[in-house]
Amino acid sequence: MNILVTGGAGFIGANLCRELVSRPNTGKVIALDDLSTGSAANLAGTDVELVEGSILDSGLLDSVVPAMDAVVHLAARPSVPRSLADPVASHHVNATGTVTVLEACRRAGVHVVAASSSSVYGATAVLPKHEDLATRPLSPYAASKLATEAYVLAYGASFGLPTLAFRFFNVYGPLQPAGHAYAAVVPAFIDAMLRGTPVRIFGDGLQSRDFTYVGTVVRVLADAVMRKVSCDRPVNLAFGTRVSVLDLARELMDITGLPADIRHEQPRAGDVRDSQAADGLLRELFPGIAQVPLEEGLAKTVTWF
Ligand code: NAD
């Protein structure tokens, strides 16, 4: 199987490319990435071919996609705060970029697996979040990811294209960068603890997240591609293990053996309060899937740092 991973030089994308090339029945693995947040170094030493360019370039997509058996579409402008700073840029990449990728896949008749986000649930307070709940985005990022999944499902319905849209929750693990303004919470906390700088918590720290180890996520993605799984509904990719941000900090203190200088700051606009996935549909489509437990995944992540 030849597989194109858009955003393949990013955190989840590079972990996926590494997983795919390690599997015996994989042919060519191509990462298409504009390196805006990803890095060629994430693919160093692998057999993955990096094509540097944008998903907004339909000519470039047409030069690659027809030789593929599947496309995993992960390229995006991630992060809620980044979308607050420039909503149009997020829309451009996440919404228009997705339609551009889908058009190339439709022309070539290629299976598409794409990344949406738990942020689409937004202000919906029900826990756990199941896929039939109403979506109420709280940020331009969430709105743009809702557009991502809506287009993916619409291409399945309109053109009979085999498609699957996953809602990722908080994915963490090796290759996730720290040390920049938009860093995710796990690498930001580990980085601060190792450097002895303040651990910044936005709000009281009792907001909760459903953390998923990247190794688990890429195994599901690879399995979806190999078995050509499609679905006419979005599918949560998390397991309902909800942890508060304060408990995450405590867990990381235990693992690193280092103290944390916790500083509470103002809650951030656009952030949801609680997040926890219902995993029934995921388990129906991927029976037997087991997740790496949080303590084990965090320990592996700290070791990678
Ligand atoms: P990331 O920033 O590491 O990866 C995104 C990749 O897309 C980067 O390599 C970036 O350079 C690339 N990219 C951006 N714009 C592009 C463009 N126009 N053309 C080509 N490449 C482009 O982020 P990630 O955490 O690996 O996220 C991967 C996907 O998962 C994204 O779609 C994101 O919205 C989604 N997601 C991630 C999480 C998470 O917890 N990490 C949660 C929910 C959803």
Spans of all domains in the chain: 3-172+212-239+277-291
pLDDT at 110: 98
Contact status, residue 201 vs residue 265, Cβ threshold 8 Å: yes
User: Nearest residue CA, atom 29 of ligand 1?
Assistant: 74
Average confidence score pLDDT of the chain: 96
* Predicted pLDDT at 181: 76
* Residue 123, pLDDT score: 84
Ligand 1 pocket test, pick from 17, 30, 34, 72 with the greatest ligand atom count within 8 Å of Cβ, gives: 34
Ligand 1 centroid to Cα of residue 165, in Å, is 14
Read off the pLDDT of each residue in 93-119 and give the average, rounded to a whole number: 98
The answer, yes or no, to whether residue 179 has pLDDT greater than 80, is: no
Q: Average pLDDT for residues 134-138, to the nearest whole number?
A: 94
Q: Which atom of ligand 1 is nearest to the CA of 38?
A: 9
- pLDDT average, residue stretch 33-39: 97
pLDDT of amino acid 215: 98
Which among 122, 85, 115 is positioned nearest to 101, based on CA atoms?
115
**Cα 248 from Cα 211, distance rounded (Å):** 10
163 membership: H or E segment, kind and range: strand 163-168
Give the pLDDT score at 58. Answer: 98
Residue 124: per-residue pLDDT? 83
Give, for ligand 1, the residue of 37, 88, 120 to mutate: max count of ligand atoms closer than 8 Å to Cβ.
37
Distance CA 54, CA 85 (A): 21
Residues 6+ away with beta carbon under 8 Å from 214: 11, 12, 15, 171, 172, 173, 174, 175, 176
What pLDDT does 15 receive?
A: 98
Q: Which amino acid is at 58?
A: S
Q: Is 168 helix (H, G, I), strand (E, B) or coil?
A: strand
| Ligand 1 and 56: CB distance under 6 A | yes
How much is the ipTM here?
Answer: 0.99
Tell me how far the alpha carbon of residue 19 lies from the centroid of ligand 1, in angstroms: 17
Report, as an integer, the average pLDDT of 237-252.
96
Give the domain 3-172+212-239+277-291 fold.
Answer: Rossmann fold (3.40.50)
Q: Is the CB of 67 under 6 A from ligand 1?
A: no
Specify the length of the chain in residues. 305
